[in-house]
Amino acid sequence: MSVIKQIIEDFNSTFVKSNVDHTVKIFTNFKHFMSKIESGNVSFSEALCFAVLVSISMSFFGELAMLTTKVDVTEYKFRFATLLTLSMIIICGISFRAASAVFGGRGTMLKTISGFCFVSLGFILIRLLELPAMLVRYKTILTQSVAFERDVSSEITQNIMNGDVSSASNWLVTIGYGVLAYWTFRMLRIVENLSVPRALSASVLGLVIIGVAVHYVQNPIVEMLLLSGKT
């Protein structure tokens, strides 16, 4: 209960200002900021509040894409998408902690999740770059009558590559994930106190785990949400 109370207090007190400050620190003094997480000077509740803001932003752009493809958007869907995104961010943090443990990481679960909650800022940039490719993906999924009617993954890839804008978007997203991976690598170096080879190995293993979670958990849920609002 004390953790929940602390989260609510952090969320309500100067929420916008504190998160703007955190964003500035990530871009201007990443190493020092991550060192504060490693030493316990940044609380898990602060990190979780930041991740909520990231999740809301990502869900907003996702809902815009749904509206463009003439999918019904409801408050329930927006809340569910925000909760799903927040859950995936936490799963990512858990994955990187587990991967770090394999390679001798000395961090704790909450600190590593906290670190990734702030690193997840990169997802907003990725979502913006992804919008043209996302529209093509959504439109391809909507050619089905019901969810999982057929495997559309190859169609999605082909349709994205056939469009100049969506193809460029896809490449920019790859660069965006490269930036996110670099931030994660630096975060693990500090928060988990890993050497360069171990941090690199942990980053790769963590990304593999996340890729599996996205493929088998997130993507099917998004497909069901899309087709449930098909008009």
Percent of the chain with pLDDT over 90: 43
Q: Report the alpha-carbon distance of residue 101 to residue 35 in Å, rounded.
A: 19
> What average pLDDT does the structure give for the chain?
86
Q: What is the mean pLDDT of residues 27-33?
A: 90
93: exposed, middle or buried (Cβ count in 10 Å: 0-12, 13-18, 19+): buried
Q: How confident is the model at residue 11 (pLDDT cuts 50, 70, 90)?
A: low
Question: Whole domain around residue 61: which residue ranges?
Answer: 2-228
Residue 201 clears pLDDT 90, i.e. is over it: yes
Residue type at 2? S
Q: Residue 15: what pLDDT?
A: 58
If one counts the domains in the chain, the total is: 1
Q: Residue 1: what pLDDT?
A: 46
Q: What is the mean pLDDT of residues 206-221?
A: 85
* Nearest one of 208, 197, 202, 186 to 96, comparing CA atoms: 202
pTM for the model stands at 0.87
* Nearest one of 89, 144, 148, 99 to 119, comparing CA atoms: 89
Which one is predicted more confidently, 10 or 154? Answer: 154
Query: What is the helix (H) or strand (E) element at residue 145, kind and residue range?
Result: none
